[in-house]
């Protein structure tokens, strides 16, 4: 059980289950969780690894930072939250890919079947956030900062708030659905045609 309501937790390796069958229970309402501050050589396990069915995840605030500090670029490590589909509540908070101390040029994968509150792709050291096999739902804002890249990898993205793009968005053939109230801003956003492959607007944009 991990409960975080404030402050900062630095995890040198990864946040993972103690065994192949053990469930994980996570509650985050505030604070910052920094994952893999030293680095990992694993090619299969992510810094955030909640993949056993029956796990639970609740997030209303705070930030999960995937930094892969010390990574060599070969691991493509990232965020795996696939074990909580039957027991989760996400109403806020942020998934942040990269930070000032992350290794340069890291490609950090996102594999989740539940929403994230906000998605931020940071600027320093040019990180890339790549969807793996699942589409992504972002309840509020997507913020791709300068030098950051968000690779949708042909997978659909649903956004409930603002889309801020000062970096690079690679939709390939995906569809971005805006189902809330938001705006398009950023140096890399000029029109819907130039910024996206396919767009559906069911909210207000």
Nearest to 102 by CA among 76, 131, 66: 66
Q: What does the pLDDT read at residue 71?
A: 55
Which pLDDT score is estimated for 78? 85
Structure-block tokens of residue 111: 């594999």
The per-residue pLDDT for 95 is 98
Q: Which residue ranges in the chain fall short of pLDDT 70? A: 19-20, 39-43, 69-77, 190-194
- Residue 76, pLDDT score: 59
The pLDDT, as a whole number, for residue 139 is 98
DSSP string, 108-176: EEEEESS-BSEEEE--TT--EEEE-SS-EEESS-EEE-TT-EEE-TT--EEESS-EEESSEEE-TT-EE
Return the pLDDT at 36. 82
How far is the C-alpha of 198 from the C-alpha of 17, rounded, in Å?
38
pLDDT of residue 147: 93
């Amino acid at each position: 059980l991990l409960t975080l309501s404030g402050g900062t937790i630095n995890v040198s390796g990864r946040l993972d289950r103690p065994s192949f069958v053990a469930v994980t229970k996570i509650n985050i309402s505030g604070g910052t969780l920094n994952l893999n501050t030293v680095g990992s050589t694993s090619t299969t396990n992510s810094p955030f690894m909640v993949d056993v069915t029956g796990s639970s995840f609740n997030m209303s605030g705070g930030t999960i930072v995937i930094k892969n500090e010390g990574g060599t670029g070969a691991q493509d490590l990232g965020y795996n939250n696939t074990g909580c589909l039957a027991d989760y509540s996400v109403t806020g908070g942020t998934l942040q890919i990269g930070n000032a101390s992350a290794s340069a040029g890291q490609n950090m994968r996102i594999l989740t079947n539940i929403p994230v509150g906000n998605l931020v792709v940071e600027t320093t050291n040019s990180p890339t956030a790549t969807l793996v096999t699942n589409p992504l739902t972002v309840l509020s804002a997507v913020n791709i900062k300068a030098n950051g890249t968000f690779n949708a990898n042909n997978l659909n993205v649903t956004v409930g708030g603002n889309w801020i793009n000062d970096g690079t968005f690679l939709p390939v053939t995906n569809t971005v659905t805006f189902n809330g109230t938001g705006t398009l801003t950023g140096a890399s956003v000029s029109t819907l045609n130039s910024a996206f492959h396919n767009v559906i607007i069911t909210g207000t944009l």
